[in-house]
């Protein structure tokens, strides 16, 4: 294919969009990716920056998702050592903590099992004699402390690295390029986009809508409008405060509502997140709320008395991103975090919507997308396998 005709057009330069571009190019297809603002400008630079199985998803019995995430974690540690590194986490349990030591021990054992009993995934309990050296962590009413291993990354740099890999395989990146609309015909789509003052068009056999929180807004611009899934956008805020706490990350339970909150020492500051607040406005305008910043500061002050005087005026920075969760009754916490693929038609889809997902599982998700759209594409000779392609800082 040449010129303005592509096998696959991807809307959205977040981790999922670039993952699909990489997988499609690796499968030998011609690919164009349209990003309106900048790579990782959306949710993919606002995450907790963890490459993890998601210990807390065990509570909602999402064993398949946890196993897949742990498999991807192991792969990324191998493929992207500059971008993904192992990270120790401490989980302190107090008299009033909702999850007791037995439950946590069971969860961590299951986590270890689901990781394929990888030596790195072993957990330990920190003996009482070591509690005073936990970097100022409150020790009154402390019952137990566990240490386990997951991984950390830089979400924006990872996104850029995957796009670079896709480009090395021949994918084209158009950025900034705002998708404005598409007409779907028998064998594909005609797409329209804006770069600067110019309106341009191209065609593709399949359009993959990976626009994250903007997914249904993008879907509405397609004629005929493909089936959409009703979603709930849930805002998650992070704050950065000055300070250091050694090398371990802390997995804490908010004393206010029992939610999991991470306190993560980064280079010279502490990254703390996250919240869960329903969001109904334009995704372009998502911002942390004062109440979210106070909530996260409250967790820090509660567990680390040395930070007792810190308040909102001390914040170095704060930001918020949006989770895309399937709509439904009950609290968002209990909704599935699995990715949902929504085609415009069952056989030979011309449009595929990618709802939800995790940073960690972008590669597995992209493989599923390619499998799902393969019947709509001309069979081509694969040029690479994404499970073997190294990713680097560039």
Ligand X SMILES: Cc1cc2nc3c(=O)[nH]c(=O)nc-3n(C[C@H](O)[C@H](O)[C@H](O)COP(=O)(O)OP(=O)(O)OC[C@H]3O[C@@H](n4cnc5c(N)ncnc54)[C@H](O)[C@@H]3O)c2cc1C
Residues of this chain that bind ligand X (CB under 6 A): 11-17, 34-37, 41-44, 46-50, 52, 178-179, 210-214, 218, 236, 274, 321-323, 357-360
For ligand X, the closer CB: 47 or 203:
47
For ligand X, the closer CB: 126 or 352:
352
Q: Nearest Cα to 152, choosing from 266, 321, 319, 13?
A: 266
SS3 content of the chain, % helix, strand, coil (to 5): 30, 30, 40
> Helix (H, G, I), strand (E, B), or coil: what is residue 363?
helix
Q: Give alpha helix (H) positions in 242-361.
A: 290-303
Nearest-angstrom CA–CA distance, 255 and 253: 6
For ligand X, the closer CB: 142 or 178:
178
**N residues, the chain:** 394
Q: How far is the CB of 194 from ligand X (least distance, A)?
A: 9
Q: How far is the CB of 199 from ligand X (least distance, A)?
A: 13
First-to-final CA distance of the chain: 28
For ligand X, the closer CB: 163 or 245:
163
CB 134 within 8 A of CB 90: yes
Q: Nearest Cα to 34, choosing from 49, 54, 14, 51?
A: 14
DSSP secondary structure string for all residues of 176-196: S-EEEEEEEETTEEEEEEEET
For ligand X, the closer CB: 72 or 253:
72
Give the burial class of 134: count Cβ atoms within 10 A of its Cβ; 0-12 exposed, 13-18 middle, 19 or more buried.
buried
For ligand X, the closer CB: 50 or 83:
50
Q: How far is the CB of 208 from ligand X (least distance, A)?
A: 11
Q: How far is the CB of 384 from ligand X (least distance, A)?
A: 21
Residue 64, token pair as written in the block? 């398949």
Q: How far is the CB of 342 from ligand X (least distance, A)?
A: 13
Q: How far is the CB of 358 from ligand X (least distance, A)?
A: 4
């Amino acid at each position: 294919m040449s010129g303005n005709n592509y096998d696959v057009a991807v809307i959205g330069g977040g981790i999922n969009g670039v993952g699909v571009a990489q997988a499609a190019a690796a499968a030998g297809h011609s690919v164009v990716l349209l990003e309106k603002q900048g790579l990782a400008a959306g949710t993919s630079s606002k995450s907790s920056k963890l490459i993890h199985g998601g210990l807390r998803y065990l509570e909602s019995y999402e064993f398949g998702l946890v196993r897949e995430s742990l498999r991807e974690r192991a792969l990324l540690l191998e493929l992207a050592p500059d971008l993904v590194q192992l990270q120790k986490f401490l989980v302190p349990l107090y008299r009033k903590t909702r999850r007791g030591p037995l439950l946590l021990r069971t969860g961590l054992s299951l986590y270890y099992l689901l990781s394929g009993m990888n030596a790195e995934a072993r957990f330990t309990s920190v003996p009482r004699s070591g509690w005073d050296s936990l970097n100022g962590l409150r020790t009154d009413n402390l019952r137990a402390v566990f240490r386990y291993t997951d991984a950390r990354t830089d979400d924006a740099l990872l996104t850029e690295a995957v796009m670079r890999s896709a480009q090395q395989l021949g994918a084209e990146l158009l950025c900034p390029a705002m998708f404005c609309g598409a007409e779907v015909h028998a064998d594909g789509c005609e797409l329209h986009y804006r770069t600067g003052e110019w309106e341009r068009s191209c065609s593709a056999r399949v359009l993959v809508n990976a626009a994250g929180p903007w997914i249904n807004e993008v879907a509405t611009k397609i004629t005929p409008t493909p089936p959409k899934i009703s979603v709930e956008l849930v805002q998650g805020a992070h704050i950065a405060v000055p300070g250091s706490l050694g090398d371990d990350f802390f997995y804490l339970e908010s004393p206010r509502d029992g939610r999991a909150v991470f306190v993560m020492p980064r280079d010279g500051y502490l990254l703390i997140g996250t919240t869960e607040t329903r969001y109904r406005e334009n995704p372009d305008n998502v911002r942390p709320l004062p109440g979210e910043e106070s909530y996260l500061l409250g967790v820090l002050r509660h567990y680390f008395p040395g930070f007792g005087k810190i308040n909102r005026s001390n914040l170095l920075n704060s930001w918020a991103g949006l989770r895309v969760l399937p709509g439904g009754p009950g609290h968002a916490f209990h909704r599935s975090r699995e990715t949902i693929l929504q085609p415009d038609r069952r056989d030979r889809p011309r449009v595929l919507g990618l709802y939800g997902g995790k940073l960690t599982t972008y590669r597995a998700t992209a493989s599923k997308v390619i499998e799902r759209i393969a019947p709509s594409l001309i069979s081509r000779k694969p040029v690479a396998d994404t499970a073997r392609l190294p990713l680097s800082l560039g």
